[in-house]
Structure 1
């Protein structure tokens, strides 16, 4: 984050959200387009790249290992070094707040015989890396993490990496992707078995770049196999809008009376579109317009109008397809009619913050009725009545961008506004969030 001093802000009640807006490019696809572009031989061109701090950390790391990553007009151009061609970085790779950059790059480096140090900010340095270290160690990489398996961390990739078959103990797109990226430079077939499907951007993009990758279903499992020593071909990529960023505007427009908002170019990959399904089950009015496919990813413009929401029991099977959207779903639940129950959300305890505890405390401070359980929240909604808001209390965001943005949305539907302790983390994924929110509700 740019400045050292916290930047608190009071988000106040606002008028209807109207007009059209476009959210930044999808963060998951942006990370992967930079990484795979850096492993292809030739020039990859990317438009719509998310220019938040997390993706810029990935870009800086790939530059440090020999790739050219530069912006030219509205386009990013990446000249890759080829699979197996990454160079030893001269200094530690600074990951900022980006868990995605860290875990995916650890996978990438696991099958390259180079040594790298990973560092991050205070929030990232609390996040566990053991779930990635364990399978990558089987491939032959060596790790010296800080106590508790966290950053700062030193790793050395395998000189002769070994292909593995790995069954994911918990649903995690980052762990799956790390293993597949390690498999790119590993002779033979590397296999990941997913008991629960997670977002599949890595599989789609690896295929797009020319990797030999197969996906099959067997006994309820999803089995993904990649052939190593791949030769990746440069691509031209248009990054769709990030559904996790669009989520804040979907919920805000659903909750603020009189809203009629079009969010353009939103990625609707089925492994990411859980929030749209859940909001519709609650009664939201979300219309898909101009549905199309861009770079192998389904995309549409979403027209969202104010609607009365009702509480529901959220199916835990939907959690992987909307794991980052739960903070703002909790805000929707706080204004719905009746009770919303969420379960199976253990993963939220190891995000940028413990998002279950953080959102329970934040919503309670703003006047919502919330009960925290071991693996979810139970929220009694107001039936559309505005939340009280915060009085003299600041909401603690724990350096978590999604907590900050979710509570900004809560401020729009409060009587007294909601003050958060720090807006700086928002820049990690959505630098223009505050400006777009003001414009939409002006």
Structure 2
């Protein structure tokens, strides 16, 4: 039986992912483990760096984004072991004891690193910090965290009316506030909770819908004092409580699992088991959306690991149906919308995705990126102001595509290419290392 030839080819300073579908006889079979959850990895590194004592992290994502976080905190005095295995040791500096760095902090491509750090740095009285990132990150809006921090008294300067990096921060005594966020954003919420961690009094964040709650869970496990009101989507932190080093076991990232859940659903005769996936209810929108599309997914071996619910996910190929994805589910699957768009291309009927304008401000404008590239392959996708309209059932043809230097776009296009006739080339595919360094080798191993 013939099957796709999948390889990375280095050209100049970038890599192209080439998928050459020589036969329609293709299946994905096997059991796999996915990289550690990126959101939890960031937060474990950040909190470990400001605790008293030692923090041990097992299962840390060894991608480029967590490496950026680790490098920033090393530059401010935390002792973090090399990220060359998934067991990391941190000796923290203690609360409010980050050192003034001798150089500019570089967040790389990581918006999480930059936005969460701003809350910490703004509350380090008397110290000066400057943070930047790569070309993509320097174009992403930071006003969503800068503005509420300024309401707390933060002193932050940057380009475009203090909304774009590089950003300069003068640490200052902050004042607690009750911030009503206009968007459900875990990054905004986490930034303000970290600012409140070192601010006398109670800082409260209220969201219009529930965003992922990894920060709340981890802050509590490290000893912070939090009050959570699920009925109003509010969380309050009381400042000044020291944190104590912990052991953190990072589950597999459901955002990474999403690529295999969709691949297993659309590629004929496929069956995959994805082990040790975090199924935090603030992140399981992808499972709910695929259930609405009638995907064949079974949740097995459910358990709790260091405060986070975990399970194995079994997926089999099925006939997907179109649906409408909107409202409060969106914050719980915002990172998975590119790969859900791929699923919708192979579903019967027309799928509508709404309330997702946030995607225009990620590593790329993800609505434009995924629609334009899939349309090049023959899909029928129309951009909406806040989402997409996807007509399912179209035949895809291999094409030259671009990743937009966005890891989730690159991987979503790779899954789509498994169902396209002919040769597909995805330019600048090395960006998958941001969150899934072994994505290509895993794909090669699963093809049967």
Whether these two folds match at TM > 0.5 is yes
Distance 1:96 1:402 in 2: 16
- Which residue matches 1:116? 129
Would the aligned equivalents of 1:9 and 1:419 in 2 still touch at CA under 8 Å?
yes
CA contact (8 A) 2:60 2:86 kept: no
Say which is worse superposed, 267-276 or 6-15, in terms of deviation: 6-15
The DSSP-based 3-state class of the residue aligned with 1:438 is helix
Counterparts of 1:349 and 1:106 in 2: how far apart (Å)? 22
- Answering whether residue 332 of structure 2 is matched by residue 298 of structure 1, we say no
The 8 Å contact of residues 58 and 87 in structure 2, kept in 1 or not, is answered as yes
d(CA) in 2 for partners of 1:371 and 1:181? 39
TM-superposed deviation, 1:74: 4.4
Deviation per CA, 1:224-269: give whole Å up to 9, x if none. 1101011111111110000001111110111100111000000001
Counterpart of 1:229?
240
Q: Residue in 1 aligned with 2:374?
A: 363
Shift of 1:15: 2.3
CA distance in 2, matches of 1:172, 1:404: 24
Deviates more, 1:312-321 or 1:337-346: 312-321
**Structural mapping, 1:265-280, within 5 Å:** 265-280=276-291
Instruction: State the secondary structure of the residue aligned to 2:324.
Output: coil
Which of 177, 180, 184 pairs up with 1:167? Answer: 180
The 3-state SS of whatever aligns with 1:108 is helix
Give 1:6's aligned residue. 14
1:308 maps to 319
The corresponding residue for 1:186 is 199
Counterpart for residue 50 of structure 2: 39
Give per-residue Cα distances to partners, 1:4-46, cap 9 Å, x unaligned: 7121222233721111100000000000000001111111001
- Partner of residue 418, structure 1: 424
User: What are the superposed Cα offsets for residues 74-116 of structure 1, whole Å, 9 maximum, x if unpaired?
Assistant: 4100100111111101101111110000000111111112211
Using the TM superposition, name which of 69-78 and 51-60 deviates more: 69-78
Pair 1:389-2:425 in alignment: no
Query: Residue 3 and residue 37 in structure 1: after superposition, are their counterparts in 2 closer, same or farther (change >3 A)?
Result: farther
Q: 1: CA distance between counterparts of 2:404 and 2:170? A: 32
Report if the CA contact (8 A) 1:16-1:256 is conserved. yes
Offset of residue 140 of structure 1: 2.0
Equivalent residue of 1:352, what SS? coil
What is the aligned counterpart of 1:406 among 395, 409, 412?
412
Q: Deviation of residue 293 (structure 1)?
A: 0.5
Q: Could you report, residue by residue, the CA deviation over 1:60-79 in whole angstroms, capped at 9, with x for unpaired residues?
A: 11111111110486410010
2:148 corresponding residue in structure 1: 135
Given that residues 110 and 139 in structure 1 are in contact (C-alpha distance below 8 angstroms), is that contact kept between their aligned partners in structure 2?
A: no
1:208 alignment counterpart: 221
What is the aligned partner in structure 1 of residue 443 from structure 2?
437
SS at match of 2:192: helix
Select the residue among 79, 83, 87 that pairs with 1:75: 87
1:327-351 deviation per Cα after TM superposition (whole angstroms, max 9, x unaligned): 0000000011111011101100101
2:112 is the alignment partner of 1:95: no
Of 246, 262, 268, which aligns to 1:257?
268
What secondary structure does 1:8 align onto?
Answer: strand
Deviation at 1:275, TM superposition (A): 0.6
Deviations 1:403-425 (A, max 9, x none): 10000001111111422111121
Maintained 8 Å contact 1:186/1:228: yes
* Alpha-carbon offset, residue 281 of structure 1: 1.1
Residue pair 1:237, 1:295 contacting (<8 A) in 2 also: yes
Distance 2:446 2:230 in 1: 43
Contact 1:192–1:225 under 8 Å retained in 2: yes
Residue 23 of structure 1: aligned partner: 34
Distance 2:295 2:101 in 1: 49
Alignment correspondent of 1:107: 119
Q: Could you state the TM-score of these two structures normalised by the residue count of structure 2?
A: 0.94
Separation in structure 2 between the aligned mates of residue 236 and residue 217 of structure 1, nearest angstrom: 27
CA distance in 1, matches of 2:328, 2:182: 16
Q: Does 1:286 align with 2:300?
A: no
Rounded Cα–Cα distance in structure 2 between residues aligned with 1:313 and 1:12: 32
Q: C-alpha distance in 2, partners of 1:345/1:396? A: 22
Taking the aligned partners of 2:185 and 2:358, their CA distance within structure 1 comes to: 9
TM-score (norm 1): 0.95
1:49 aligns with 2:54: no
Residue segments in structure 2 that go unaligned for 5+ positions in a row:
1-9
- C-alpha separation in 2, matches of 1:87 and 1:435: 40
The answer (yes or no) to whether the contact 1:311–1:381 under 8 Å persists in 2 is yes
Which residue of 156, 166, 177 maps to 2:170? 156
Structure 1: distance between partners of 2:12 and 2:60? 26
- For residues 131-187 of structure 1, the C-alpha deviation after alignment (integer angstroms, 9 at most, x for no partner) is 1100111222211111262111111121x2211111101111101000000111111
* Structure 2 Cα separation of the partners of residues 31 and 212 of structure 1: 20
- What is the number of residues matched between the two proteins? 433
